[in-house]
Structure 1
Amino acid sequence: MIQCDIVIAGAGVIGSAVARELSRFEGSIAVLEKNADVCEGTSKANSAIIHAGFDAEPGTWKAKMNVRGNEKMDKLAEELDIPFQRCGAFVVCLHEEELPKLKELYERGLANGVPGLKLLNREEALALEPNLSDAVCGALLAETSGIVCPFELTLGLAENAAMNGAQFYFETQITGLERREDGWLVKTSGEDFLTKAVVNAAGVHSDELHNLVCENKLHVASRKGEYCLLDKTAGQHVSHTIFQLPGKYGKGVLVSPTVHGNLLLGPTAADIEDREETKTTAEGLGEVLEKSALGVRNIPIRQVITSFTGLRAHEAGDDFVLGETAEGFFDAAGIESPGLSSASAIGEYLAALIAEKLQLARKENFQPIRRGVPRLHDMPAEQRKAYIEKNPAYGNIICRCEQVSEGEILDAIHGVLGAKTLDGVKRRTRAGMGRCQSGFCSPRVMELLARELSLDLREIRKNEKGSEIVLEKTRG
């Protein structure tokens, strides 16, 4: 049995943010993740937007955490060495009779304390975004909205937490919780943990953990959203994130640039029974293409290079569930959009509650600076040359689409919380995320993983157990 002060259930963006904030304090932290890596659940597939905070009802956790999280992003991105751009966002109105709803969003944003909001008429909107559709009759501009890479944000938070002492346990499924006089017994698929406090950051399964220990029950629906990602040749089609006026199931289908230069369309919204089902469908992707064209014209859909599905944890109360909901049990449940935007604020809030509860002292040697895998393609020529001279592996290009070198992949494998799967390498380096979608580079990445981790090629997985690529030798 492993003893610690705090167990965090889930190594997505919320669990990793809580871990980083708690690692500012003296105390032992164990992050338990059922998958093989961080960012394998809800956090891996979303719109990658840092929302301004105008959409949520004033006074809700969503509103408070969103606005605070947005405020923190510039400093956080600098500390964690992750890409972040305040590109701004439009909410476009497609019908004259709905213009009052746009004004309501504007006033809600003001009530939430969102700066940089402006109401635009059609001509003003087109001056900033010439590719808006002919149906657009007005827009709300939110200047503080931004875009981020959800993989790199989650990895940055998790790695920085690990640098400051948090321990991560992968492929460790929580199977039960039992209240003891001295805290909680956390039963898992591996070793059990005895801890003073538990943080529930289990995404679409957060209600299951909550309902094990709390009298007031939660119900989280797994809300499925399908997306299309376009090549970098389409990345300049819009310069802001383009939303449509929100409806019952969220903010509708968006069109947005990404921090890596692609164009993103989506998501759909449909509640499903299977909390792990991430298949795309012809119907869903057709809806993405049809609805995205309502707000933006001439989208070059022939440039779609991949599609994917994300899951959102929608709680029936339509708000985040945060705080101590049982003795020593702290919820971060029902975290859907704007969860990515709110992650650092949720981490800050829960860490303060837990530190006070357990009387944890602040560390004097907390290190907030984390450096990610170097991105040689983005470096000036002289800096890139210096890297290659120091280690020739940086001059051996493995992924041609994204110009990722062997040296970068080795850094990803041997770094803090190093990559052990193809997806792990992909999220840390972008090897396999380009136009060919790993068609050429995956065999070489597999060879590097096998060599560096002393594994047989048949042991190399895409992600979880059962996703091995090579099943058997055909010769030799």
Structure 2
Amino acid sequence: MKIYDAVVIGAGVAGCAVARELSRYKGSFLVVERALDVCEGTSKANSAIIHAGFDAEPGTMKARMNVKGNKMMDKLSEEMDIPFKRIGALVVCLSEDGLPRLRELYDRGIENGVGGLSLLSGDEARVLEPNLTDEVCGALLAETSGIVCPFELTLGLGESAAKNGVEFRFDTKVAGLKREGGCWTAATDKGDLLARTVVNAAGVYAGELHNMACESKLRITPRKGEYCLLDRTAGGHVSHTVFQLPGKLGKGVLVSPTVHGNLLVGPTAADVEDPETAATTAEGLREVAEKSAWAVKNVPMRQVITSFMGLRAHEDGDDFILGESAEGFFDAAGIESPGLTSAPAIGEYLARLIAEKLGLPVNDSFDPIRKGVPKVADMPTEERAELIRRDPRYGSIICRCEEVSEGEILDAVHGVLGAKTLDGVKRRTRAGMGRCQAGFCSPRVMEILSRELSLDLTDIRKSGKDSQIVLGRTRKEGE
């Protein structure tokens, strides 16, 4: 049986970042994921913010990884062809009593090495964001904060890792871990895997895996957050990410543009027991609407096109757990906000530790460049015409809301880590992310998946194994 140098458990943004950085070294590496695709857990539903780094306690792993990950993002976005914008963020204070806390955040940011910070009066903040409420009496401006697409960041990291030789196995759940003879055995529902080292990047399940492998125990609590996504017609309501002064459970309800021109509002914050929780609630969405109005006036909530819920992996000590927690067992646990920002730095940190431990040589053939699926709608007219001339399928529009062509969907299906589900296509191309939320394009996308993957329509899934869309046929083929 093959013995891998490292098995990474979890294909979220942290796991994919570790995998990409491991591929800078010569070795045998495998990513194991219980879902059918990358970015199916914590990484798929978050605020899509690249945080500046002023919030984390100085000296913590959160602070270190946040600040470094933020600085890595410009180069990374260029190498991996992912959308990223440094739009800046405002943390607003709604009462005079909170101004000392705002000053504490500023001082903490300076201590963490964050540049581009300044304290503003309420009037100065309203010059930058005219839709701030009259209650805003002060703000912290963080110029280095940005926005990114969490799907494309995770996909980019995963595809880059795969391009550079990392293996991926999906629909494979790790149920046990045991170390003997200097090697780890990961028992999965598809057979055992052997590895010299293991990386625990399992999101809300990271505590379970850690406790299988380590004498010291860890508790990860799923923290639920609900969001509303508004149509592009509302995308210009604010030009910065607007946070409210943080509370015990996080940074509060934010209002932010997205890299694709929408407006995002949320999240709520509530600890839950079930790591499979996925439903939004009327109460939670009302909370999003009500609390967002404290800081930003006239948020056009009638323009909501979808709502969603995400889980954050909160560790009791309120920090990232990174490093070798048992012989050959490396944790990337408790990766909640600012985990998206920190992921590139986490990947670099853990990959270096593993390479040093195993004595892995540098991979001189590592190629950092990854190209995403072409976005026909964003191309200049002449470039788009030339692409369609070469392949007319790029002129056949499948998703009218987002102007996604058949050619783009084919690229997504047949890419390095090809899409196998409706959501897999959506995250790679945005087909189904527009105003109608896949109401018109789903049947067409399903037909393409069925044809290209030689699957019956009853075998096409929205996302997970249990998300069957077509249950059977009412007529025989040909009738």
Correspondences of 1:446-461 after superposition (within 5 Å): 446-461=446-461
**Which residue of structure 1 lines up, in the alignment, with residue 333 of structure 2?**
333
After TM superposition, give the deviation of residue 264 of structure 1 in Å. 0.2
After TM superposition, give the deviation of residue 192 of structure 1 in Å. 1.3
**Which residue of structure 1 lines up, in the alignment, with residue 48 of structure 2?**
48
**Which residue of structure 2 lines up, in the alignment, with residue 344 of structure 1?**
344
**Which residue of structure 2 lines up, in the alignment, with residue 253 of structure 1?**
253
After TM superposition, give the deviation of residue 452 of structure 1 in Å. 0.4
Paired amino acid for 1:113: G
**Which residue of structure 2 lines up, in the alignment, with residue 296 of structure 1?**
296
After TM superposition, give the deviation of residue 16 of structure 1 in Å. 0.1
Whole-Å separation in 1 of the counterparts to 2:460 and 2:333 = 33
Q: How big is the alpha-carbon RMSD for the aligned residues of Structure 1 and Structure 2?
A: 0.6
Please state whether the residue corresponding to 1:226 is helix, strand or coil.
Answer: strand
After TM superposition, give the deviation of residue 191 of structure 1 in Å. 2.5
Whole-Å separation in 2 of the counterparts to 1:327 and 1:463 = 36
Whole-Å separation in 2 of the counterparts to 1:213 and 1:122 = 51
**Which residue of structure 1 lines up, in the alignment, with residue 71 of structure 2?**
71
Whole-Å separation in 1 of the counterparts to 2:55 and 2:464 = 36
Paired amino acid for 1:317: G
Which region of structure 1 is more displaced relative to structure 2, 442-451 or 207-216?
207-216
**Which residue of structure 2 lines up, in the alignment, with residue 265 of structure 1?**
265
Correspondences of 1:384-463 after superposition (within 5 Å): 384-463=384-463
Paired amino acid for 2:124: E
After TM superposition, give the deviation of residue 182 of structure 1 in Å. 2.8
Paired amino acid for 2:387: Y
Q: How many residues of Structure 1 are paired with residues of Structure 2 in the alignment?
A: 476
Whole-Å separation in 2 of the counterparts to 1:122 and 1:317 = 34
Please state whether the residue corresponding to 2:374 is helix, strand or coil.
Answer: coil
Whole-Å separation in 1 of the counterparts to 2:314 and 2:209 = 15
- Contact 1:44–1:310 under 8 Å retained in 2: yes
Please state whether the residue corresponding to 2:31 is helix, strand or coil.
Answer: strand
After TM superposition, give the deviation of residue 181 of structure 1 in Å. 1.3
Whole-Å separation in 2 of the counterparts to 1:2 and 1:130 = 61
1:475 and 2:444 correspond: no
Correspondences of 1:219-238 after superposition (within 5 Å): 219-238=219-238
Please state whether the residue corresponding to 1:20 is helix, strand or coil.
Answer: helix
**Which residue of structure 2 lines up, in the alignment, with residue 354 of structure 1?**
354
Please state whether the residue corresponding to 1:450 is helix, strand or coil.
Answer: helix
After TM superposition, give the deviation of residue 58 of structure 1 in Å. 0.3
1:125 and 2:120 correspond: no
After TM superposition, give the deviation of residue 475 of structure 1 in Å. 1.3
Which region of structure 1 is more displaced relative to structure 2, 191-200 or 81-90?
191-200
Whole-Å separation in 2 of the counterparts to 1:372 and 1:351 = 24
Deviations 1:97-121 (A, max 9, x none): 2111111100000000000001011
Deviations 1:208-239 (A, max 9, x none): 00001111100000000000000000000000
Correspondences of 1:10-49 after superposition (within 5 Å): 10-49=10-49
**Which residue of structure 1 lines up, in the alignment, with residue 195 of structure 2?**
195
- Contact 1:225–1:310 under 8 Å retained in 2: yes
Whole-Å separation in 2 of the counterparts to 1:98 and 1:345 = 32
After TM superposition, give the deviation of residue 2 of structure 1 in Å. 3.8
After TM superposition, give the deviation of residue 265 of structure 1 in Å. 0.4
Please state whether the residue corresponding to 1:440 is helix, strand or coil.
Answer: coil
Which region of structure 1 is more displaced relative to structure 2, 463-472 or 200-209?
463-472
Please state whether the residue corresponding to 1:355 is helix, strand or coil.
Answer: helix
Please state whether the residue corresponding to 2:191 is helix, strand or coil.
Answer: coil
After TM superposition, give the deviation of residue 3 of structure 1 in Å. 2.3
Deviations 1:259-304 (A, max 9, x none): 0000000000000010110100000000000000101001111000
Whole-Å separation in 2 of the counterparts to 1:180 and 1:28 = 20
User: 5+ unaligned residues in a row in structure 1: which ranges?
Assistant: none
Whole-Å separation in 2 of the counterparts to 1:436 and 1:371 = 28
Deviations 1:433-475 (A, max 9, x none): 0000000000000000000001111111101112111111111
Whole-Å separation in 2 of the counterparts to 1:419 and 1:358 = 33
Which region of structure 1 is more displaced relative to structure 2, 328-337 or 179-188?
179-188
**Which residue of structure 2 lines up, in the alignment, with residue 213 of structure 1?**
213
Whole-Å separation in 1 of the counterparts to 2:429 and 2:292 = 29
Whole-Å separation in 1 of the counterparts to 2:194 and 2:57 = 39
Please state whether the residue corresponding to 1:192 is helix, strand or coil.
Answer: strand
**Which residue of structure 1 lines up, in the alignment, with residue 115 of structure 2?**
115
Whole-Å separation in 2 of the counterparts to 1:64 and 1:459 = 45
- Contact 1:2–1:191 under 8 Å retained in 2: no
Whole-Å separation in 1 of the counterparts to 2:460 and 2:301 = 34
Please state whether the residue corresponding to 1:199 is helix, strand or coil.
Answer: strand
Paired amino acid for 2:437: Q
Please state whether the residue corresponding to 2:52 is helix, strand or coil.
Answer: coil
Q: Percent identity?
A: 71
- Contact 1:106–1:119 under 8 Å retained in 2: yes
Correspondences of 1:296-315 after superposition (within 5 Å): 296-315=296-315
Whole-Å separation in 2 of the counterparts to 1:191 and 1:415 = 27
User: 5+ unaligned residues in a row in structure 2: which ranges?
Assistant: none
After TM superposition, give the deviation of residue 175 of structure 1 in Å. 1.0
Whole-Å separation in 2 of the counterparts to 1:305 and 1:275 = 26
Please state whether the residue corresponding to 1:228 is helix, strand or coil.
Answer: strand
Whole-Å separation in 1 of the counterparts to 2:355 and 2:191 = 25
Which region of structure 1 is more displaced relative to structure 2, 384-393 or 464-473?
464-473
Whole-Å separation in 1 of the counterparts to 2:2 and 2:308 = 38
- Contact 1:2–1:192 under 8 Å retained in 2: no
**Which residue of structure 2 lines up, in the alignment, with residue 383 of structure 1?**
383
Please state whether the residue corresponding to 1:307 is helix, strand or coil.
Answer: strand
Paired amino acid for 1:298: N
Whole-Å separation in 2 of the counterparts to 1:364 and 1:8 = 22
Deviations 1:397-418 (A, max 9, x none): 0000000000000000000000
Paired amino acid for 1:412: A
Whole-Å separation in 2 of the counterparts to 1:142 and 1:162 = 35
Give the TM-score normalised by structure 1: 0.99
